[in-house]
């Protein structure tokens, strides 16, 4: 080295001599510049030393301060180094200086020998070369995935850390990539800069335009290796693979049902919430799927775009046309494995199989009765609702079922019990009635041994053990095992009390509560305690009372271990731990743990004193106060 020339010239001469005096002792890599900075930077790569930690997220660490500055600039959005020539801004001074050379030299001296692309800096050429060599030196230490560029690895790591540093200023939504944030912003601006040349449709993302073009070209480049089916999107092929693997990664947290697609899970959630966000603008009918609304629109438009070429019959859905065409072809592709009977529709085969299995999956949520077909359940549901679509044109009477209308005309009840002579309109009702005489309860719970007359009742009972409560109140979030109980609960919020006592006019939210109340007027107490002879209006009252004799306290608090005779007492007790006081006085706002305490408190405002001393006539708000008062007359302390 010639000391007269100076360090910059000597460094440049090494380009021609290929001299590299600075050698890394760990890996032997040599450098033309005698700079301790390069060697110390390389040493940190070997040792894994990353002393520069991001103060914002605390998770990202770097071996160089410049890399940390880049990240911090990314998180804050700050770009303090602005090019005076073109106005482009940069996070670090190093990036700015590298960019500035473009304006000074206006040259790109580093050419790719494979494709001829030119670059301003040699490091950019090296990075680009990996495209051709498929070199992926940057490996994720969590999952082992490798990348061409370190920046791609940084982006990928956010999948594992959950970091989403790019925040939309408009709605606050966060993303793990800056490019995804840019795409998202177009939702707010309405910008759709990517336009299809064929049909003029515009998109806010370039990749979505590429996917859309395949509709016009018919291109389906993504082919399933198992069955040969082709798709125009890679994501759709990935989802399709799950049909072959049986993978169902999207699981409902409420009932455990699993789905191939996330969209199917979202649709399924609406079964539990009862949400129907897709509303017909013509008639107001609501649907839980957009596709169902789309088909429904054709009811109003009369559109039936799928036409049978044989007979000209038209259909709303293509699947309905396919099913119909089998009438002409005689094709019956769906065969019962048990008896060999064939059907032209898959749904009919499913229904037929239930003859062999005895399965009755359509269960009435009101009374638990089960059916093999959904349309039979729908007919049955009308017995519980006010819906009465079958009208007698002679007298104007409307009824829920066609069989009941027949009985109204003819008085016919053709299904008669041979044991007691009781007759029924429907054969199914007779079958159920037979169990009264036989005592048969064929549906047994495998967990506790309890047996039931109907399979539907067993299904509902299972939820006692599983804790499943799929029916959720949208107002307060409380969940229930049966839809009928949810309907009853809704009346707590609406204040509706449709069941009125004909004797005293008192109204109730539930029919069962009215039945219980009616026994007060008749003084009917059919449930007797075998131990002490005490009688009760309800069986549940007798069951609770029996525990007085047995000492049984089956309802135990998981928090403190205290046990209770009745489940209702346990529910009230839970509020001691949660601090919940759901019963609020509308007059003064005071809140109570139990509804009974609220009723007593309200007498303070009304002045009502229902507990009267028979001896002196003095009245009290609470029964306990009356008991204390009696001691004055009896002389007891």
DSSP per residue, 499-525: EE-TTT--EESSHHHHHHHHHHHHT--
Same domain assignment for residues 596 and 506: yes
Grade residue 49 by pLDDT with cuts at 50, 70 and 90: low
Q: Do residues 416 and 440 share a domain?
A: yes
The answer, yes or no, to whether residue 365 has pLDDT greater than 60, is yes
Q: Are 591 and 585 in contact (CB under 8 A)?
A: yes
- Find the range with the poorest average confidence among 70-84, 132-146, 398-412: 398-412
Asked if the model's pLDDT at residue 174 lies above 80, the reply is: yes
Q: Summarize pLDDT for 90-124 with one digit per residue, the tens.
A: 777 777 777 776 676 656 777 888 888 888 777 78
Residue 493: name the closest of 512, 480, 515, 478 by CA. Answer: 478
Integer-rounded Cα radius of gyration of the chain: 39
Classify residue 4: in a domain, yes or no.
no
CATH number of the domain to which 277 belongs:
3.30.160.60
What is the C-alpha separation between 277 and 560, in angstroms, rounded?
43
Residue 335, H or E segment? strand 334-335
Is residue 140 domain-shared with residue 35, that is, in the same domain?
yes
605 or 359: whose pLDDT is higher?
Answer: 605
Same domain, 547 and 430: no
Contact 173, 164 (CB under 8 A): no
Q: Report how far apart, in Å, the C-alpha atoms of 162 and of each of 143, 249, 253, 288 are.
A: 14, 19, 22, 31
The answer on pLDDT for 2 being more than 70 is no
In a domain, 523, yes or no: yes
Q: Tell me if 470 sits within 8 A of 272, measured CB to CB.
A: yes
Cβ neighbors of 172 (< 8 A, separation 6 or more) are none
Q: Is the pLDDT of residue 238 over 80?
A: yes
Number of domains present in the structure of the chain: 5
Strand 61-62 and strand 535-536: pairing?
Answer: unpaired
Q: Contact 478/486 with Cβ under 8 angstroms?
A: no
Q: How far apart are CA 96 and CA 85, in angstroms?
A: 12
φ, ψ of residue 247 in degrees (nearest 5)? -70, 130
| 3-class secondary-structure state, position 109 | coil
Residue 469 sits at φ, ψ, to 5 deg, of -135, 80
Residue 34 scores a pLDDT above 70: no
479/616 same-domain check: yes
Whether 30 and 137 share a structural domain: yes
For residues 386-407, average pLDDT: 58
pLDDT digits (tens, 9 = 90+) for 276-331: 888 888 888 888 888 888 888 888 888 888 899 989 888 888 888 888 888 889 88
Question: H-type helices in 530-594, by residue range?
Answer: 539-550, 567-578
- In a domain, residue 102? The reply is yes
CA neighbours closer than 13 Å in the CB half-sphere of residue 248:
9
* Domain co-membership, 329 together with 427: no
Q: Which residues, including other chains, have CB under 8 Å from residue 593's CB and lie 6 or more apart?
A: 572, 575, 576, 580, 581, 583
The domain in which residue 231 lies consists of 192-245
Q: Which of 448, 466, 484 is the last residue of a domain?
A: 466
In a domain, 385, yes or no: yes
Tell whether 185 is covered by a domain.
no
Q: Are 115 and 132 in contact (CB under 8 A)?
A: yes
Return the structure tokens found at 520.
Answer: 């007060």
Given this model, what pLDDT does residue 560 score?
92
Which of 276, 283, 239, 279 lies closest to 261 in space, CA to CA? 239
Give the burial class of 456: count Cβ atoms within 10 A of its Cβ; 0-12 exposed, 13-18 middle, 19 or more buried: buried
Instruction: List Cβ neighbours of 45 (8 Å cut-off, separation of 6 or more).
Output: 63
Angle (nearest 5°) at CA 481 between 444 and 555: 80
Which residue from 160, 173, 148 is spatially nearest to 59, judged by alpha carbons?
160
pLDDT (0 to 100) of residue 66: 62
- Which residue would you say has higher pLDDT here, 468 or 46? 468
Please check whether residue 609 lies inside any domain of the structure. Answer: yes
Counting every residue, how long is the chain?
637
Q: Is the pLDDT of residue 441 over 80?
A: no
Identify the residue with better confidence: 601 or 432. Answer: 601
Three-state SS annotation for 125-172: HHHHHHHHHCCCCEECCCCCCEECCHHHHHHHHHHHHCCCCEECCCCC
Question: Which of 154, 177, 208 is the C-terminal boundary of a domain?
Answer: 154
Q: In 27-114, where does DSSP find H-type helix?
A: 36-47, 65-76, 93-105
β-strand 138-139 against 230-231: which pairing, if any?
unpaired
First to last CA, the chain: 115
Q: Are residues 487 and 602 in the same domain?
A: yes
- Give the pLDDT score at 136: 84
Return the residue matching tokens 């499913």: 350
Q: Let me know whether 589 and 628 are in one domain.
A: yes
Indicate the residue among 133, 154, 175 that finishes a domain: 154
pLDDT reported for residue 4: 55
Question: What pLDDT is recorded for position 153?
Answer: 87
Angle ∠(123,84,118) on CA atoms, nearest 5: 30
Q: Are residues 509 and 621 in the same domain?
A: yes
The pair of three-digit structure tokens given for residue 294, joined into one six-digit string: 């789309």
Most confident of 148-157, 373-382, 437-446: 148-157
> Regarding beta strands 555-556 and 563-564, do their DSSP bridges make them parallel or antiparallel, or are they unpaired?
antiparallel
| Rounded Cα–Cα distance for residues 247 and 137 (Å) | 32
380 CB-near residues (< 8 Å, 6+ apart):
364, 369, 371
**41-55 residues labelled b (16+ CB within 10 A) or e (exposed):** ebbeeeeeeeebebe
pLDDT on residue 3: 54
Asked if residue 475 is part of any domain, the answer here is: yes
Residues 535 and 621 both lie in one domain: yes
> How does residue 620 score in pLDDT terms, banded at 50, 70 and 90?
confident
Per-residue confidence (pLDDT) for residue 14, from 0 to 100: 61
Where does 193-261 have alpha helices with state H? 206-217, 234-245
- Is 133 a domain residue? yes
* Confidence band of 616 (pLDDT split at 50, 70, 90): very high
Residues 490 and 580 in one domain: yes
SS3 state at 606: helix
Q: Which whole number is the average pLDDT over 41-60? A: 64
Nearest to 528 by CA among 550, 549, 543, 548: 543
Report the candidate in 461, 261, 495 with the shortest Cα–Cα distance to residue 370.
461
Task: For the chain, give the mean pLDDT.
Answer: 80
pLDDT of residue 345: 82
Q: Which residues sit opposite 362 in a β-bridge?
A: 371
Percent of the chain with pLDDT over 70: 82
Residue 501 has pLDDT above 80, yes or no: yes
The predicted structure's pLDDT at residue 410: 58
Closest CA to 476 of 566, 366, 580: 580
């Amino acid at each position: 080295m010639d000391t007269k020339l100076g360090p910059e010239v000597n460094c440049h001469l090494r380009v021609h001599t290929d001299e590299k005096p600075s050698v890394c002792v760990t890996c032997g890599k040599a450098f033309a510049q005698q700079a301790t900075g390069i060697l110390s930077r390389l040493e940190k790569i070997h040792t894994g030393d990353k002393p520069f930690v991001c103060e914002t997220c605390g998770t990202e660490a770097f071996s160089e301060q410049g890399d940390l500055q880049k990240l911090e600039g990314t998180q804050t959005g700050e770009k303090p180094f602005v090019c005076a020539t073109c106005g482009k801004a940069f996070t670090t001074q190093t990036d700015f200086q590298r960019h500035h050379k473009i304006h000074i030299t206006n040259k790109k001296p580093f050419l790719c020998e494979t494709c001829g692309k030119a670059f301003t800096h040699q490091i950019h050429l090296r990075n680009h070369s990996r495209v051709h060599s498929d070199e992926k030196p940057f490996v994720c230490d969590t999952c082992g995935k490798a990348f061409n560029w370190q920046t791609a690895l940084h982006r990928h790591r956010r999948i594992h850390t959950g970091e989403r540093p790019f925040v939309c200023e408009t709605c606050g939504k966060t993303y793990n990539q800056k490019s995804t944030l840019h795409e998202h912003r177009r939702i707010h601006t309405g910008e759709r800069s990517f336009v299809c040349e064929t049909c003029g449709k515009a998109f806010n993302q370039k990749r979505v335009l590429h996917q859309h073009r395949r509709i016009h070209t018919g291109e389906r480049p993504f082919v399933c290796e198992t069955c040969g089916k082709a798709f125009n999107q890679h994501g759709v092929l990935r989802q399709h693979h799950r049909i072959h693997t049986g993978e169902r990664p999207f699981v409902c947290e409420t009932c455990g049902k699993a789905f191939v697609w996330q969209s199917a899970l979202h649709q399924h959630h609406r079964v539990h919430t009862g949400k129907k966000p897709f509303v017909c603008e013509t008639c107001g009918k609501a649907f839980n799927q957009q596709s169902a609304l789309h088909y429904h629109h054709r009811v109003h438009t009369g559109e039936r775009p799928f036409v049978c070429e044989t007979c000209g019959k038209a259909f709303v859905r293509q699947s309905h046309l396919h099913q119909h065409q089998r009438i002409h072809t005689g094709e019956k592709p769906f065969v019962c494995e048990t008896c060999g009977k064939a059907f032209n529709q898959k749904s009919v085969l499913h229904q037929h199989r239930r003859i062999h299995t005895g399965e009755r999956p359509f269960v009435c949520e009101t009374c638990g009765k089960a059916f093999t077909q959904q349309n039979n359940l729908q007919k049955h549901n009308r017995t519980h609702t006010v819906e009465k679509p079958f009208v007698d044109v002679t007298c104007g009477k409307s009824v829920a079922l066609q069989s009941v209308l027949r009985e109204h005309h003819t008085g016919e009840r053709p299904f008669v019990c041979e044991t007691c002579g009781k007759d029924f309109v429907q054969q199914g009702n007779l079958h159920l009635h037979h169990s009264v005489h036989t005592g048969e309860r064929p549906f047994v719970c495998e967990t506790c041994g309890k047996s039931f007359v109907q399979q539907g009742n067993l299904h509902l009972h299972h939820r006692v053990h599983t804790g499943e409560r799929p029916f959720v109140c949208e107002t307060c979030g409380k969940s229930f095992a049966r839809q009928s109980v949810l309907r009853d609960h809704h009346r707590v919020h609406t204040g509706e009390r449709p069941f009125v006592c004909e004797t005293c006019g008192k109204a109730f939210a539930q029919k069962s509560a009215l039945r219980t109340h009616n026994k007060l007027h008749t003084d009917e107490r059919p449930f007797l305690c075998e131990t002490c002879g005490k009688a009760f209006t309800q069986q549940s009252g007798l069951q609770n009372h029996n525990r007085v004799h047995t000492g049984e306290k089956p309802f135990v608090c998981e928090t403190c271990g205290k046990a209770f005779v009745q489940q209702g007492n346990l529910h009230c007790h839970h509020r001691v731990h949660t601090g919940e006081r759901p019963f609020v006085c509308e007059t003064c706002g005071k809140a109570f743990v139990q509804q009974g305490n609220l009723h007593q408190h309200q007498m303070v405002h009304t002045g009502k004193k229902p507990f009267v001393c028979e001896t002196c006539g003095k009245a009290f708000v609470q029964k306990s106060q009356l008991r204390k008062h009696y001691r004055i007359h009896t002389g007891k302390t």
